[in-house]
Amino acid sequence: MATIGDVARVAGVSRSTASYALSGKRSISTEVRERVAAAVRELGYTPNAGARALATSQTMVIGLLAQFLRDEFAPAMMQYILGVSDSARELGYDILLVTEEDGTRALRRITDSRMVDGVVLLNVAEHDDRLDILRSAGQPGALVGLPGDPRGVDVFDLDFEATGRLMVERLHRLGHRELILVSQPEHVVERGGAYVWRLRNAAVEHARQRGITVHAVFGSSQQPHIGAELNALLDAHPDATGLLLNNEAAAAALPTVLHTRGLGSPGDLSVIGRYSDEFAKSFSLPFSFIESAPDRLGRMAVDHLVRRIEQSNEAVGGHVVRLVDPEFVDRGSVAAPRAAATGHGR
């Protein structure tokens, strides 16, 4: 490979002049600039990234720590990764993808060895061991997922409490008085998946304030089981007119369950899910839902991270916790309950 020394020699200038001609960091005569450009073309010169990183202390690489947890919907992770990767590239950064089981060790490795200028953590838990490592690292970090203690990092997440309230409010206004909420499995909560109880608690509390009932349960994340559970729930609560889903597997299983029971939506049951548009498309789900916006969250995290990397801390300001407002995507599965509309039970 050609080096900048080769470029300099061919162009008949010094290495520093060649470097400045390429970076534009000081004024260069037109003639020299063109000679350098010609030499670059002739030699097919591309700067050595490692050498540049060593000289500038900037790698132009962002570390992306994905975490694949048991019983979480793995394909959904792809969306976050793409959001992060695509927006990083637009800003001139490449992505070092780390899928190691032991996230703390991996995080320490890539920050201590200065492989990256900053780090995005995915799937952050309520108490996440990676945060201590990150806070003592020399590089800034952005999280997707709200931890219990967000000090020293920038956080981006869907506002799951507002999501819970919105789901309940929407149905309450239409006259629903008895709802079912199916969350992720309980061990997702135990492992620190705080978004599960944030949505759940907010929904339950909001229902209480409105004086309506919500049967809140944890569902399985595997397809055969969750189908049976949904059936059992519908049997147990025949007067429920609304179904809220914070559980991808439940959403995927529901069409078959409804079909088997001969139920229509929203005719017999109003349904609101919480998942991504991409997920809805893959499974062609016919339900209205709250968009979980993985690409948008990934993008926000990267944008902010890059500002922290490139600007002074004073310019960027204090650390932020940015919770995205839930967006209701109407697919027509929500309506007034039969009981309220016609005066008959269903």
Partner DNA sequence: CTGAAAGCGCTTACAG
Binding site for DNA (CB under 7 A): 1-5, 13-17, 19-20, 22-23, 25-29, 31-32, 45-48, 51-52, 54-57
Q: Which does 328 bind (CB under 5 to 8 A by kind): DNA, a second copy, none?
A: none
Closest CB to a second copy among residues 148, 264: 264
User: Least CB distance from residue 94 to a second copy, whole Å?
Assistant: 6
What does 4 bind: DNA, a second copy, none (CB cut-off 5 to 8 Å by kind)?
DNA
Q: Between the CA of residue 204 and those of 51, 234, 296, 319, what are the distances in Å?
A: 57, 19, 28, 31
Question: How far is residue 134's CA from residue 107's CA, in Å, rounded to a whole number?
Answer: 7
Residue 100 interface partner, choices DNA, a second copy, none, CB cut-off 5-8 Å depending on type: a second copy
Indicate the pairing of strand 141-144 with strand 118-121: parallel
Q: What does the alpha-carbon distance between residue 232 and residue 92 come to, in Å, rounded to a whole number?
A: 52
Q: Which is nearer to DNA, 24 or 238 (CB)?
A: 24
| Of 166, 193, 168, the residue nearest 179 (C-alpha) | 168
- Minimum distance from CB of 161 to a second copy (Å)? 29
- Give, in degrees to the nearest 5, the angle at Cα 220 between 219 and 226: 90
Nearer to DNA by Cβ, of 46 and 284: the residue is 46
Q: How far is the CB of 318 from DNA (least distance, A)?
A: 28
Minimum CB distance to a second copy, residue 297 (Å): 17
Terminal-to-terminal C-alpha distance of the chain: 75
Which listed option, a second copy, DNA, none, makes contact with residue 15 (CB within 5 to 8 Å by class)? DNA
Q: How far is the CB of 167 from a second copy (least distance, A)?
A: 25
The Cα 79–Cα 298 span in angstroms is 9
d(CA 77, CA 64): 12
Partner from a second copy, DNA, none binding residue 186, C-beta < 5-8 Å depending on class: none
